[in-house]
Amino acid sequence: MCCRSGGRVGSSSLRPSVLEPPNSEEDDLQKSWKDKLLARRVELLMASCLILVVTLALSIGLGVGLSCVGRFRCGSSSQCVSASAQCDGEVHCDGGEDELGCVRLSGRSSVLQVQRGGVWRTVCSEDWNNWLGVSACRQLGYSRYVESFFVSLTSIEQELQQNLVSISLNQSQIIKLQNTTTLSKTECSSGRVTTVKCLECGSRPQYNTRIVGGNLSGPGQFPWQVSLHYSSEHLCGGSIITSRWILTAAHCVYGFSDPTMWAVHVGLTEQPVHGAQSLAVERIVYHSHYRPKGLDFDIALMKLTRPLVFNGLVEPICLPNHGEEFAAGTMCWISGWGATEGDGETSVVLRSAVVPLLSTQTCNQPEVYHGLISSGMICAGYLEGGTDSCQGDSGGPLACEDSALWKLVGATSWGIGCAVRNKPGVYTRITQSLSWIRQQMEVSASGVRGQGSGGNRSPVLTTPEMLVCREDSGQ
């Protein structure tokens, strides 16, 4: 597989454009001194007006900016609220942004944390019940809840052992966790903390390793891989992260945001599509900070009009948790229908390759990407070239296996050339976009009734009586 993003970044596109000043010498020679004086006065007047306008704009801008220093900004608006108002159980922003993203899963064990008073707090196991588990999953953007686990406090990362909290709920109802009575603690009386599972993900139940060799992918090898078709043609790849959500690259959908023009094909290994599930798209959203001439925030989500049916050949990949990173040298997989050479056609069959993760320091070396790699990106590939992603692979997964679970570490974004020496593939780092992903999913799951993750009905939530909480169970 020699592939990379459909949004290629050639060396010429990295050069800033140069504007040449107009040559006005001939016109000046033809003007009389009176004409010149009048023109000069007009120029000075216009310059003065321009300076005044800029000064006023800067003053207003600085006023708005300074008013938000140390405070919480409500989305992209100029409205700001006190930092302590974020996740306090009351809506202060007009759009309710201050009460979004108040729950997260952290570390390798998926430890549940709730934000309150501007501090992320690890949830103790005492008083925990399945209604709280359902509520947590709803806030994480899922329509279902599988189970809760209780693990030893001393077994989790050191930074998660601070700022503990217990949550109690006396009624059987679905709530926002930050709305409940929370008690800050210096220790958990049970000695255990809560972890939550909202989705069975990251497995390959129908994959037989004897089916395929080389870089040709067999059925079920990458069950989360999707082919995104625009006007009935493969344009980009993507990854299934829930039954309703597909994650891809922003540059795939920017300027092509009409959902009716897109179709998501799942469970296939060959193009054209034969016998695969095909679903329509309900909504497309890309990161608000993405710019088509930039390289950062290259991430987008597609919401399907109806849920996918998981069957072993079609399965979701797990999202990583907050603070969960993968070390340089970790061997991961890339996959897609991208070109097998720089200027070639897209592949008819799904191809894949193993690539090592590279450190940001390595990728920012002068001979590699010379400082272009930000904290929101991750590099993977071989500096000697030879194996890479390419045109048509954009938005597809960079998947890494961790404790028998596959996790989405990156989404194919950009690069210079395909499989070129010192030009490895660059991927959007998923851990840096988790808050944005969760917020989009949460808005959908907990928004207006009838528009949640279950389609044109309320989200499907299994009754807690059918679920279990377990202690000290590895995930």
Q: Which of 104, 110, 102, 80 is nearest to 92 (CA)?
A: 80
Phi/psi-derived region of residue 64, left when phi > 0, alpha when psi is between -120 and 50, beta in every other case: alpha
Beta bridge partners of 427: 378, 412
Known catalytic membership, residue 298:
yes
Known catalytic membership, residue 287:
no
Select which of 234, 251, 287, 322 is catalytic: 251
DSSP 228-277: EEETTEEEEEEEE-SSSEEEE-HHHHTT---GGGEEEEES-SBSS--S-E
Select which of 389, 394, 433, 453 is catalytic: 394
Known catalytic membership, residue 289:
no
Task: Note whether 433 and 287 are within 8 A (CB).
Answer: yes
- Which residues make Cβ contacts (< 8 Å) with residue 211, sequence separation at least 6? 218, 219, 221
Sign of the torsion angle spanned by Cα atoms 166, 169, 172, 177? negative
* In the block, residue with structure tokens 């795939």: 252
Select which of 88, 296, 298, 388 is catalytic: 298
Q: What is the CA radius of gyration of the chain?
A: 26
Q: Counting Cβ atoms within 10 Å, is residue 149 exposed (0-12), middle (13-18) or buried (19+)? A: buried
Task: Note whether 317 and 224 are within 8 A (CB).
Answer: yes
Q: Which residues are catalytic?
A: 251, 298, 394
